[in-house]
Amino acid sequence: MQGRTAIPALLATLLFATAAPAETLNLLIWESYIDQKILDRWSSITGVAVHQVYYDSGDTRDEVLADPNSRVDLVVTGENSAALFGRKGVLEKLDETNVASLRDYDESWRTRCSGRGLPYLWGTMGILYRSDMLAEAPTSWQDLMRPAAALSKHVAMYDDHNEAFVAPLMLLGQSINTNDSSTLRAAFTLMKEQAPSVLTYEYIISSIQNPAVSKDIYMALGYSGDQHVLNAKAGTPGVWRYAVPKEGTLSWLDCMSVVANSQNKDRALALLDYLGSPGSAAANALALNMPTASRAAHALLPEEVRSDPAIYPSPDILAKSQYQQELSTESVQLRRRIISTLANFQ
């Protein structure tokens, strides 16, 4: 909760303070979601600094994007947000004319970013767990939603109105994009039952850095790839692991976009093009152990990476996965209120 109220304040400070004469690009992005070396290289080439501003939930990011006064130049969004903010004109329309490296990306990927973003990285949602605390790896959303008594108060959930619903809705066998109020009510019931076991509703990457709770989290809802960040943050290589439940999951795609009213839109487009280029994209994917959407970059990756199921999910997992789709206004409102209630009244 503290992190949550602090972040908008932090953002505001940073955004207004960085209106400095020296050229700087503000990149709104998940923490540890880009290889710093690549940014450094670009800065050394162009002399433009790239300043990362972190968010830890899609809702927080959307809140910033919705503020017309924000100084964000580039942003990593989800498929839905790319569509929403793209349609609204908050995000610059992208094609090969302003971002040449888009040519390396399949049309299917580009469509999911609604033509407003460069398909950045993709992956799944699943259960992150500490292998030293759990005797067996979780196999079902049941393990997260109805945790064993030993895991009570050792679970971290996630207060995002989209992703937080993946677990209960998958468990219920429903579409993760449902707008049905009664289905959401059933999901809410599940989540309420889980609430007493939940230690925090803060995104695991943030909460692992909160000394008050970090040691007590044994299991969390998260994204593929997060286990590497967690192991790095906690200094426990190999301890944190990632599992995709058998019920299926969300298959997500992050898009990197340029904010339409950016003061340095050209520089931002240039950075985006650089990041989307095969070399950068491949390096980034390697550094983060995540799959890239660039054909050219994919080709650059070593074979063992390309065939690693921990990085590239197996086809049967992907077969059971669902993509994010735009939700109805009521559904969004309801989901927000549900997650807000859970986080508030835990």
Partner 1 sequence: MNLGKRALILIFPVVLAGYLLAAISVHVTQSRSIRALEHAKLSQRLEHAAAVFQNEIGRSKGFLNALLNGNSLRQYVSETDASYRANALGVRLQESVKSLLDDPTGYVSLALLSSELKSEYYFENSWDPFAEIDEAQLNLARRLIREDKLADWTYLYEAGQRPRIVYSFFLDPIAFTRPLPSKKSNALLVQVAIQPDRFLDMQQALKKEYGSDIVLQPWPLAVTDDLSASVHLGPSLYATLTVSSEHFDALMAQQKFLLALGAVAMSLFSIWLIIMLIRRFITDPIATLDANVMAVMVGARDEIRDMEEKGEIGRLTENIRELHRQSVQSLKLVQRSSWTDTLTGISNRGHFNALAAGVVREAIAASEKCSLLFIDIDNFKFVNDKHGHEIGDELLKTLATRIAERVDAITERRGQKPAILARLSGDEFAVLVRSRPGDGTVREISGAILSLFEDGFEVADKRYPVTASIGAAICPDDATNLTELIANADAAMYQAKTSGKNRSARYSRALHDKRTRLRQIQDELRSLDPDEQFHLVYMPMVDTEGRVTGCEALLRWYSPVLGNVTPDEFVPIAESSGLFTKIDWWVINKAMSDCGQLKALFGPETVLAINISSAELHSKAIADHFADCLQRHGLEARSIEIELTETFAVKFSDQLRRNIDALRQNGFRLSIDDFGAGYTSVQQIIEYTADTIKLDRALVSNLTASHSLPVLKALIALCHAKDVAVVGEGIDTPEKLSMLTAAGCDLFQGYLISKPLPIEDLAIWALTRTARYAHDEALDEQQSRQAIA
Is 254 an interacting residue with respect to partner 1 (CB under 8 A)? no
Is 332 an interacting residue with respect to partner 1 (CB under 8 A)? yes
Q: Which residues contact 192 (CB under 8 A, 6 or more apart)?
A: 342
Is 235 an interacting residue with respect to partner 1 (CB under 8 A)? no
Number of helices (H) and strands (E) in the chain: give both, helices first: 16, 9
Residue among 108, 111, 314, 344 that touches partner 1 (CB under 8 A): 344
Window contacting partner 1 (CB under 8 A); options: 11-19, 80-88, 225-233, 295-303: 80-88
Interaction with partner 1 in 6-35: which residues (CB under 8 A)?
Answer: 8
241 bridge partner residues: 129
Q: How many residues belong to the site for partner 1 (CB under 8 A)?
A: 34
Report the distance separating Cα 148 and Cα 150, nearest Å.
5
* Window 139-168: contact mask with partner 1 (x via CB under 8 A): ----------------------x-------
Is 180 an interacting residue with respect to partner 1 (CB under 8 A)? no
The long-range contacts involving 329-337, CB below 8 angstroms and separated by at least 24 positions, are 330/179, 330/181, 331/178, 331/179, 331/181, 331/184, 332/161, 334/181, 334/184, 335/161, 335/162, 335/164, 335/165, 335/184, 336/59, 336/161
Window contacting partner 1 (CB under 8 A); options: 108-116, 246-254, 261-269, 320-328: 320-328
Residue 63 or 216: the one with the smaller Cβ distance to partner 1 is 63
Is 76 an interacting residue with respect to partner 1 (CB under 8 A)? no
Residue among 188, 203, 252, 312 that touches partner 1 (CB under 8 A): 188
Is 199 an interacting residue with respect to partner 1 (CB under 8 A)? no
Angle 221-245-176 (CA atoms, 0-180°, nearest 5)? 70
Q: Torsions phi, psi of 33, nearest 5?
A: -115, 10
Residue 7 or 281: the one with the smaller Cβ distance to partner 1 is 7
Q: 54 near 275, Cβ under 8 Å?
A: no
Query: Reduced to 3 states, what is the DSSP secondary structure of residue 119?
Result: strand
Residue among 139, 181, 210, 325 that touches partner 1 (CB under 8 A): 181
Is 37 an interacting residue with respect to partner 1 (CB under 8 A)? no
Interaction with partner 1 in 87-106: which residues (CB under 8 A)?
Answer: 87-88
Strands 219-223 and 155-156, how do they pair?
parallel
What are the distances in angstroms from CA 67 to CA 60, 64, 116, 121, 337? 11, 5, 18, 25, 20
Q: Where on the chain is the footprint of partner 1 (CB under 8 A)?
A: 1, 5, 8, 59, 62-63, 65-68, 80, 84-85, 87-88, 161, 181, 185, 188, 326-330, 332-334, 336-338, 340-341, 344-345
